[in-house]
Structure 1
Amino acid sequence: MKPDHIRALIAQSPASLTGNAVGFGVMVGVFLPLASPMVLGSWLGAVIVLWLLRLGHWWRYRQRERAGTLDDATLSSWYPSYLVLVLMQGAQWGAAVWLFWDLGTPYHRLALILVSYAYTLGAVQLLVTQGAVFNAFISLVLLPTILRIATDASQPFHWQLAVVLGVIFVATLVIGRTHRSALEQAITLKARTDQLAAQLRIEKAAADAARSAAEAASRAKTQFFAAASHDLRQPLHAMGLFAEALRQRIHDPEVASLVNSINESVDALEGLFGELLDITRIDSGGVEVNPHPVRMKELFTRLRLHFEPLAFEKGLALSFHGERHVAHTDPLLLERILRNLVSNAIRYTEDGGVLVSCRRRGGRLLVQVWDSGIGVSEAALPRIFDEFYQVHTSRPLEAHHRKGLGLGLAIVKRLADLLQAPLRVQSRVDRGTVFTMELPAGIEQRRSERDIAPTKAALGLTLNGRRMVVVEDEAAVREGLVVLLQAWGAQVEAFETVDAVRAWVVHAGTQPPDLLIVDYRLPAGTTGLDALAVLRARWPQASIPAIVVTGSSLGGHEDESSLHDFHLLIKPVLPNKLRAMIAFKLGMR
């Protein structure tokens, strides 16, 4: 195995150890009143010893790395011990199922199953690049669980539950293999593109031929990422919906917390694909700059359309000022920068609001994104635009402050450099942050549009009595969405095709639905826009609000959303985002 891969694996030990510590705490909290002190103490003692061994292994690695005495040969010799410790930790979770299965109620057994499966999902991110190790780890965790369920004749339907968990085990293997293949191909393509880029700088005589090869590799890589992203978003989207539906049926807060962790893992995977696609396209020179006049009014309208539901959910004020100005720049790259900055601002702000402003200074425009969030320390400011750098705050982050790859602001900085737009940041801890970008000014527009003030309200979504229409061709996604909406109290009509919608509206009653949720890509060359047209034609006076869901991350639907009056969500849609959007759409009526 390559030394760089070993370093990446060992560097993830703190996150893995933290997750294991949380799991140990959950197990002790659940089974302390039930288990024999000797059994629980023996298991916990073995767990703690192994946990400390892994911590010591990582600490030695860090000390040697800082001292500069960790060469590749030494690193390779440490890799087997790392794998042994990881696999032993997986075996401990499998043993826990046998030790504690007969204790307590069915809810306690459900907690055991969810803990086991939560750690197999964590292994997708941590170990998936090591195929044999990943397969061995999840086998050590899940196979003992399946065997214990199958041999528990005291419980009804134990064979059926064992079969279901076996199917989940196989599906996890398939997801891991798909994810590993995608990452390996992406890394190979990126390495090839970097090699071509270096050759272009050194061999100027062969510049034209090398540039053509690099552009071809970039297009192939982008197409691969788009296809892989779309295909993987579908099962991730369905997984999130089913997990939320399961959480609605669970009253144990600790088990519900584990289900929330599954949803956060789905969101993290989606963010990972998006960041890898963006940074790879920029590095490979696949991003072209096409400057022309950009009306800030139109750009701010699109940003408001996308982010107002997220701000609404958190009770934040989202404001835009300076819409009359016109900049001379590339509109797509500018919008990508502002989307990233506004998304970060909303994520790390708990009270107050976010302001996007544009004002003139001399012959240039200052475009700024202000927030009243947690801020960044002065020591961390010089590095926030570095790749893979993540700011460490003095207080613990909330669950929704997702820790990704540390590429978001690196993407912003590179796009700003492409636009030749100086970018700077100012921040104060616990007071907020402002990002400022300078752009050339275009033709001044005197008309301005009044800002729409968002309503600050806490969400307590209930859909009792609400009628929903769902159009989705993926059976798993459709079923998961129906189950979730029904759990929230809605009455749901679900269809697979536009033809099925046409057949239904002929016999539908006079009462229109309250909301339409449709997939963009439907069978037989149709789209969700066709379904919207059929449904709205049946009730032309109702102005039925609509949400369109798509698995494509390439964009291009903003103009359609304004023309056909809908809001857009990108798969996988976590239930909390769907809940926020539904509340926002129903609140607009």
Structure 2
Amino acid sequence: MKPDMPPSIASQAEAHWVEGELVRSLMRTQRSTQWIGLVIIALFTGVLWDDASLRLLLAWVLLALGAAAVRFWSMREYVREVMVRGAAEHRAFIQKWRLMFPASALTWGLTTVLYFDRSSLADQFICWLMMAGLAMFSINALSAHLRSMYAYLNTLAVTCLVVMGWRIGGELQFQGPTYHWWIIALLLIFWQVLRQAGKRLHETHRKNYELQFRNNQLIESLTRQTQAALDAVEIKNRFLASAAHDIRQPVHALGLYADWLGSEPELVHELAPKIVESTKAVNQLFDSLFDLARLDSGKIKLNIEVVDLKQLLHDLEVQYRPLAEAKGLQFRVHVQPGTVVSDPILLQRIVGNLISNAVKYTQKGGILVAARGSRSGRRIEIWDTGVGIAPVYQREIFREFYKVPTHAGTEDGFGLGLYIVARLTQILGHPLTLASRPGRGTVFKLTIEPTDPAQATERAVASVAQLVSRP
């Protein structure tokens, strides 16, 4: 069986997971960069201490420390509440704190008020150099989350440009030195270069996480396939063990009867019926095993056609009435003539298994097989006065190899009949209900809704897939 291949187009689940991991990567870098920000605040303060207005410088320092405090607070919340959570929580976190990065960039952009055309050229050069380094550093720190990086770079560049434009046009009336325009041009070029570099770096991050997601899916798929194979081996071992256990008794009995008949031929009339019964038991087991093998392999063939209920139940009566009367049981059939759309062979197998169970687990009284009309379609009912089934076991009896442990005298059952019935009714789309009272009897009601061939085939395939993939 081929493992599930990752989709070529990202699914919504993949997109959400990747987005969450990108936020996780972004926040990992923030744990180290927040300390670097404090160092740069100190450097700006030292460089501009003698050049800038002390009042404006202290105001900016307070603003920068406030922005740093907000980042520390967000980081604290992330570590305590979000870091170990899933993608949804990470996406919600970045949505909540989405203004943190542009606010920080605005703080740094306002430094141009302190030094642009107000301090010595040497100090301006140092400040511009620190701003360029800060912008370049933000590419590595923020590129994991493209929207945050764009918000930071755009706010930083626009703030600088606005301050410079206000200085050049508002205060200097465009009478300043020519190099101001070169600085603006360099800033615009640098801004676009950083955006493109950050975008390429972000695409690398995203592709890495997409590959990681698909690798994880592939590993999970291979793990499921491996587990399914192990489960199939376990089912097969359990299948063989149970079949070997069930077949041992009638085969052992056949051997004993044959030896007995060889030593005492005059007992042929007494032993022959027992040999016949043991042979029937072996045949019944093989029939069940073959049915189960066809179901589990998906090779069951469907032949949907109109079925005459009267003829169907007549054929079953011919087969099972002698068995019931041999046990001293009454066997009655009540049929309202009509037709249904189903697979005649599989439908006969379903009803036959139900009648066989009724005969097997009824010691006195009788069995009634009835075909009636109902609002949802024709219905076949099998009533018996047998041992009954306690409510605690009524779901379990449809499992393979399951035998009700409290039923005395039912050790010759193989635990396959009702399992096969459940599988076939699900494939044909015929709902089966059960009502039972321990010690009083049981009734199975099979509603024969018209079977659609295409849907039945799909259900047959799904039944095999579910069997293979179940834990």
TM bracket, shorter-chain basis? 0.3 to 0.5
Q: Taking structure 1 as the reference length, what is the TM-score of the superposition? A: 0.31
Larger radius of gyration: 2
Query: Could you say which structure has the higher helix fraction?
Result: 2
